[in-house]
Amino acid sequence: MIKFFRSIRQRLLSENKFSKYLLYAIGEIVLVVIGILLALQINNWNEKDKNKVREQMYLKSLLDDMQNNLEEIKLDIKGNRTVISACDSLLLMAHEKSYQAIQDQNLERLVISLGNYAKLQLEQGTLEEIFYSGSLQTISNDSIRGFLVDWDRNFVAIKELEIYARDNQEKYLAYLNTFVPYYAFDFLEVKYSPETREKYFNNTELLNNVADIRFIARILNIEYMEKINEIEAFNTLVESEIIEE
């Protein structure tokens, strides 16, 4: 096409037809500009297609991560319920003075279960990739972007509670180490002797610690349930944005 215009331009110049040459020159410029604009538009379309493909990849990956996070939170809720139930049993026995009647192995199970504390191990691989690669704007839905931006901030309270729970339970284990002979458990027929039980169930500081562990576990479960509701709502929104192939 450019050669065609060049041949016309040379012929018009040789024939001294300047006005016609000018029109052809303008036409040549317009054609080049149109070509450039078309190329830019095609490139634009290609970029949009690439972004759409990348967005769909991120959305599917986010959905997988969040489904795994839901399972993780549910496991921690289950663990906290075990701790709460053990605390209830221990505190009730202390109140009713019935701690000498419980079988040794059952008491051991209750006492030891309080040494576990919840700590969420959330999957954030896709979230981190989106932020570290500067791809947040690839996500077109404002609500999804907002949820991702607020992710860390929404777990600040939970992380603080988990630290408090860990500190309480470490303190609890330190109390136990002062009078429960763990070193000899492999050799003892009765691990929690009447004397050991008296020391455990008449230790006001330890029992207050048990009550504190129960309280924090309950608060954590309330927070965890709220996060389950939020993540389930987020997953529903993400699913609505995923294009079925």
d(CA 237, CA 216): 32
- The model's pTM is 0.78
- Give the number of other CB atoms < 10 A from CB of residue 91: 15
Contact between 87 and 210 under an 8 Å Cβ cutoff? The reply is yes
Contact between 99 and 93 under an 8 Å Cβ cutoff? The reply is yes
Encode the chain (245 residues) as per-residue pLDDT tens digits: 555 555 655 565 555 555 554 555 565 666 666 666 655 555 555 555 577 889 999 999 999 999 999 999 999 999 999 999 999 999 999 999 999 999 998 998 999 899 888 889 999 999 999 999 999 999 999 999 999 999 999 999 999 999 999 999 899 988 888 888 877 777 667 788 899 999 999 999 999 999 999 999 999 999 999 999 999 999 999 999 998 76
d(CA 131, CA 242): 20
Task: With H, G, I as helix, E, B as strand and everything else as coil, classify residue 162.
Answer: helix
d(CA 228, CA 207): 31
Task: With H, G, I as helix, E, B as strand and everything else as coil, classify residue 84.
Answer: helix
**Amino acid making up residue 147:** F
d(CA 148, CA 135): 12
Residue 168's closest CA among 109, 223, 209?
Answer: 209
